Structure formats: structure tokens, C-alpha cells
């Protein structure tokens, strides 16, 4: 994606979707719940254990390469 499109998607503001985590073993249950609620659910990533002493969130692109984010959110007051 272009830098402008990436910025709009990741930090454009006024996007009120729910982001959550679920264990891989619960994937079927999540899919069933989404069907019942008539809500589209999209898997966008995974949580992995960090090395000892490291606390970090790493954003990667579809090829698994680290993605540097210039903006980390939307500032409603700035």
C-alpha cells in the first residue's frame, strides 16, 4: 500500500471496529459466534512469546517483514 493509504488505514481515526485475541484452538468457536451475530471476523495477526526480558509489539507486513509505523494512532485533540 502507498504511504498515504497505510496512514489512513492505521491512524485515520473514527474507525470503531473491535480487535481481540483468541487461542488458535478457539477458531471454530469464534467463527460460529460470528455467524450467529452476522459479523465478519478477519484474522489479522498472531500473538507469539517474546524472548525473556523483551516486551514489544512488532507490526509486520504480509511477507512477515517489520513494518515501521510513523503514526501510532489518531490524536483527536491535536
Predicted local distance difference test score (pLDDT) of residue 29: 97
Q: Domain boundaries in the chain?
A: 1-78
Cell (9 digits) for 62: 504480509
* Beta pairing partners, 66: 60
Cell (9 digits) for 65: 517483514
pLDDT in tens, 32-71: 999 999 999 998 888 888 888 877 777 788 888 888 777 6
Cell (9 digits) for 25: 484452538
Q: Does the structure show a pLDDT above 90 at 3?
A: no
Which pTM value belongs to this model?
0.53
Residue found by looking up cell 525473556 in the block: 52
Q: Once rounded to an integer, what is the mean pLDDT over residues 17-29?
A: 89
Amino acid at each position: 500500500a502507498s504511504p498515504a493509504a497505510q496512514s489512513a488505514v492505521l491512524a485515520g481515526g473514527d474507525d470503531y471496529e473491535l480487535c481481540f485475541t483468541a487461542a488458535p484452538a478457539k477458531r471454530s468457536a469464534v467463527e460460529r459466534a460470528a455467524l450467529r451475530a452476522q459479523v465478519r471476523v478477519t484474522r489479522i495477526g498472531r500473538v507469539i512469546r517474546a524472548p525473556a526480558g523483551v516486551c514489544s509489539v512488532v507490526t509486520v507486513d504480509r511477507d512477515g517483514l517489520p513494518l515501521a509505523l510513523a503514526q501510532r494512532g489518531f490524536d483527536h485533540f491535536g
